[in-house]
């Protein structure tokens, strides 16, 4: 799969749904340096469903390359599509590396993407090997960057939400004190 070609195909769909009036609303309510096309979450999920139907046998390497290409885009919608795709292929989330999260967290500047990344992806990733990966949440919680601390908070919430046999309340409480 050509990740850049797939990204362009998804960008074309983003452009089809673009709503300049809603883009102004989103830009006022969720300030960010990112370009905003004005897609609603339901429209983004519709794009993801269509992509999934067309790529039923996507392998982890291809999906992760597409997610990375989308995250490196210049718009809110590209990054949201990256995270929505990962959530729909949750079995591939453990294949992410910490360096991916290190890269992505440095781009965070709003709650919308921070919440999606933390709850929907980071928490699930930590759960894939909680003993080894929980320290990453602790490091985020202690980071000097406010968006990293917030990511740690929602990542801990995502971990607690996803885990059925036990939870990590100390991480959640520690992050609440830091944010």
Phi, psi of 19 (to 5 degrees): -130, 95
pLDDT value of position 170? 59
pLDDT value of position 159? 75
Residue 88's closest CA among 118, 61, 63? 63
pLDDT value of position 144? 94
pLDDT value of position 179? 53
Residue 120's closest CA among 48, 51, 176, 53? 48
pLDDT value of position 94? 93
Residue 85's closest CA among 116, 115, 108? 116
Give the integer Cα–Cα distance in Å for 136 and 134: 5
CATH 1.25.10.90 segments of the chain: 1-95
Say which CATH class 1-95 falls into: mainly alpha
Per-residue pLDDT of the chain (179 residues; tens, 9 = 90+): 999 999 999 999 999 999 999 999 999 999 999 999 999 999 999 999 999 999 999 999 999 999 999 999 999 999 999 999 999 999 999 999 999 999 999 999 999 999 999 999 999 999 889 889 999 999 999 999 999 999 999 998 877 665 565 555 555 555 555 55
């Amino acid at each position: 799969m050509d990740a850049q070609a797939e990204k362009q195909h998804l960008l074309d769909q983003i452009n089809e749904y673009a709503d300049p009036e809603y883009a102004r609303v989103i830009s006022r309510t969720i300030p960010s340096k990112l370009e905003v096309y004005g897609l609603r979450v339901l429209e983004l999920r519709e794009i993801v469903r269509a992509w999934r139907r067309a790529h039923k046998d996507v392998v982890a390497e291809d999906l992760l390359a597409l997610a990375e290409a989308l995250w490196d885009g210049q718009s809110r919608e590209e990054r949201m599509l990256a995270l929505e795709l990962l959530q729909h292929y949750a079995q591939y989330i453990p294949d992410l590396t910490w360096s991916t999260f290190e890269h992505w967290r440095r781009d965070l500047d709003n709650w919308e993407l921070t919440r999606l990344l933390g709850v929907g992806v980071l928490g699930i990733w930590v759960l894939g090997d909680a003993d080894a990966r929980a320290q990453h949440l602790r490091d985020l919680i202690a980071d000097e960057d406010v968006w990293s601390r917030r990511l740690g908070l929602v990542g801990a919430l995502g971990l607690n939400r996803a885990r059925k046999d036990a939870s990590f309340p100390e991480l959640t409480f520690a992050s609440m004190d830091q944010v």
